[in-house]
Structure 1
Amino acid sequence: MSKLNVVQAINQALRHEMERNPDLILMGEDIGKDGGVFRVTEGLIDQFGERRVVDTPLSESGIVGVAIGMAAYGLTPVVEIQFMGFLYAAMEQLISHAARLRTRTRGRYTCPIVVRTPYGGGIHAPEHHSESTEAFFVHTPGLKVVVPSTPAEAKGLMLSAIRDPDPVIFLEPAKIYRAIKEEVPEGDNAIPLGEARLLTEGKDLTLITWGAMLHPTLKAADRMAEKGVEAEVIDLRTLSPLDSATIIRSVEKTGRAVIIHEAPKTCGLGAEIAARLCEEALLSLEAPVARVTGFDTPIPLPKNEKYYLPDVDQIVEAAEQAVGF
């Protein structure tokens, strides 16, 4: 095994699948010679050539629209959109066509495309470059939404996303692209979609999160442990389909839940999780379900970004309130 960062792990997953599947084609702006904005596809054009690593015009709707047609006729396109804020230009293609192709054709066609895009704050970028609007896509039936939180997770989830017969929105937390390294298994370490993972076990509290927010959540759990509070930490991995069973099982044991995400609070995925807990685990709850989130505003430009993103202190405060309720 090699120690890789998230960029290198995703590159390794793409290379592995391109070697395995000759119908896999990469598409996106500047992904060939330049290797993409964050260099995730660096070196792949040298190995596979420009017929399989395609530099596209600057047209997100066109890129995704072409990928849908390719997928319907047997190819496996993996699309890179430079930033999540640029993906909105392709919403028509994703919502009206990619997500509906299976039901529209009564199962005759599927749409095996992966749309990769960096998302989230923490990189001091300008407007449209730090969006965390995963709820748009979770709300759309027919789309799967995946968010890795570490390099090994990024590789394993990418392998499964590429092999999935339905369209997958693969959100890559830009904040941790190069911030952490870990050992990543060589070869095929596919991680099934739709299964959350339990990182720590505890009896007092459940902390639920995904993507870059996993790391301050784990630090908050350590701080709570110093206070004698045992917290379970759940990394969702796949936001749609959501692994409700793991969440419910944990909260039935601990009786308390705090949900952490950097997206705005109103109608964020945390609201759906809280609703499911009320529907399915109400009698187990010993405190209100808490949410630690971003604000209901556009993410601010770099100077004020640190005030927007949830941090360890905010998570600990919410956890203490839940335990002390």
Structure 2
Amino acid sequence: MATFSNEELLQAHTELWDLTFGYLKSMALECAIKLGLPNAIHRRGGDATLPDLLDAVSVPESKKAHLPRLMRFLGAFGIFTADAPAAGERANGEEAGAVYGLTPVSRLLVDDSGANGSCGSLSPFVLSQTTKYHVKAAMHLPEWFTSDDGAAAAEMPFRTAHGADLWGVMDRDPKMNQVFNAGMGSDTQLAMDFVIGNYGDVFDGVTSLVDVGGGTGSAARAIAKAFPHVKCSVLDLPNVVNSVPPDGVVEYISGDMMSSIPATDAVFLKYIMHDWNDEDCVKILKQCKKAIPESGGKVIIVDIVVGSPLKAMLEAQVSFDLLMMVITGGKERDEHEWRKIFMDAGFSHHKTRPVLGFMAITELYA
């Protein structure tokens, strides 16, 4: 067995610690959002001292001394900047503290309109992925891996932890349903800005579109706004559709994509296929194929294609894959795996292009 040099040992030890305490990153990020720290810094013009933050957020007197430690942690991982004051600089007669600023990451968490360019805040997305349900499900990974009793609870760690799948939990917990839909909507806004702004040609020749599993209609509304000639509809479960007030822009249809999809020029699937195993994906795609015309019809898929050559992108892709294993029983797929389910569903050819970093857009033809 190879021996470590002192330098290698120390590096490995540091990396192991970083992995061990990795959960604190997402919890600290959630805390920053709930305290309103990104908004507080933004509303101070992009720079804020500790007294500025304490004036802006609701922290009891007994906890105020701990806020600098949270800010230091978030700064170490690139969420905020922390510029030390010049030597001897004083504020209100006291030694000046650090000045905190926004980074590209924390700018994505600001709620104020226009702070992030054309996209909205991704804070709802973060909050939708750091719920008690997600955390508890992930903690059941070891139990799930060693269970082989064939029971429904063994299908995925989420069901092992909660006795129901994600959709069942949202059905019985209206607050979770609201948090999840808000999160999906916020991420959709950013994704659709990129798709429409850079790959709008995928909608060429389309006069009608059904957004399958489209939730509250964020993607469909964005498409309808950019392409007014396209009649956009959303197909989703009754508990989702019934919670959305009519907007006069998108038609909301209650249904089950496994059973039937309304006839349309194009079916739009954003972050849907990764929720399902291969067998169910083939069922969904076969329903999509029935819904579109043989000539000129298409299925448009926005999802991950695993295999990015860039380390950060690949880490995001495989993290999403593990998340799917934990909460839905689905998976993220590489190019070969995508091609197989396309062929099994009876599609003749497809075209895939990278979009939004670790995501891709695929046009699938009958």
- Bigger proportion of residues as helix: 2
TM class, shorter-length: 0.3 to 0.5
The higher radius of gyration belongs to 2
Higher relative contact order (CA 8 A, sep 6+): 1
| TM-score calculated relative to the size of structure 1 | 0.33
